A = this chain, B = another copy of it.
Amino acid sequence: MSWSIAEVARDSGVTARTLRHYHAIGLLVPERIAANGRRYYASQQLLRLQRILLLRELGLGLDAIADVLARQDNQSTVEVLERHKAWLLREQQRLGRLVRTVESTIENVRSGGEMAPEKVFEGFEHNPYEAEARERWGDAVVDAGYERMRNWSGTDAEKARTGYGRVHERLAVLKAEGAEVHDLSVQEMIQLHYEVTSLFWTPTAEAYRGLGQLYVDDARFTEAINADPTVATYLRDAMNVYADEHLSD
């Protein structure tokens, strides 16, 4: 008893195209190929196809399926399935993280996507970066920052308004002049940057590095820094050096 490709297709639910493909890659070779080139499948092939489709439903790739069907012992089949399961779990977790990131991005766009760049560094409260900050460093840090702002002196407020701007301008010049990120002149500006930041909150070494990366990652920060977006990378690298030298983990 043997079946034509269309019969097998009807019976198994896959298309004839798929069967030809499986033949082409050697996954399911017909029992017999007639002189006119037509494929004929016997019951053996149908059973193999059934196993292929089972494994395919589990999400295995065709080469992994070929692997399982090649070695007949159950032990290695279980191993392949275990590996596959582990992969599925990792993927699932990754998607979960993506969902959370997308959610926080939606929040971000909703609340502050429209904000003008020049307003970026005007403080934390009702600021679109609040969500970002809470996401990155937790509620306690942000709330502590608010508390601190309430106790600012006049010079503190002045420093907060103009401090970052001065840092960015000087850094752009220093970078243009070819200064390395670990040069003293650069690190002095980072020192100022750190002091201004400390008006809001006291970053750990890790958080400070995270802030530097945020400048690079987030277009709104980068735009606010300067006409030259590569200054963000430069700033981040310099902040990393500063964290290495002055902050403890």
Report A's interface with B, CB cutoff 8 A: 1, 3, 7, 11, 43, 46-47, 50-51, 53-54, 57-59, 74, 77-78, 81-82, 84-85, 88-89, 91-92, 95-96, 98-99, 101-103, 105-106, 109-110, 113-114, 216-219, 222-223, 227-230, 233
Contact = CB atoms under 8 A, between A and B. Distances in A.
Query: What are the 6 A-B residue pairs with the smallest beta carbon separation, nearest first?
Result: A46-B229, A92-B95, A50-B219, A74-B113, A85-B102, A81-B106
Contact of A57 (B95, B101, B113, B230): B101
Contacts of A106: 78, 81-82, 85
Contacts of A216: 50
A249 B51 CA distance: 31
A216 B54 CA distance: 11
A99 B233 CA distance: 41
Given A218-B54, A222-B47, A85 B109 contact: no
A43 B229 CA distance: 6
Contacts of A74: 109-110, 113-114
B92 A88 contact: no
Contacts of A230: 3, 7, 11, 46
A106 B85 CA distance: 10
Given A50-B229, A110-B74, A98 B88 contact: yes
B101 A228 contact: no
A233 B7 CA distance: 12
Contacts of A229: 11, 43, 46-47, 50
A167 to B, nearest CB: 18
A219 B88 contact: no
21 contacts: A1-B227, A11-B229, A11-B230, A11-B233, A43-B228, A43-B229, A50-B216, A50-B217, A50-B219, A50-B222, A50-B229, A59-B102, A74-B109, A74-B113, A77-B109, A77-B113, A85-B99, A85-B103, A88-B95, A88-B98, A88-B99
Contacts of A7: 230
Contacts of A110: 74, 78
A219 B51 contact: yes
Contact of A101 (B3, B50, B58): B58
Contact of A102 (B58, B223, B227): B58
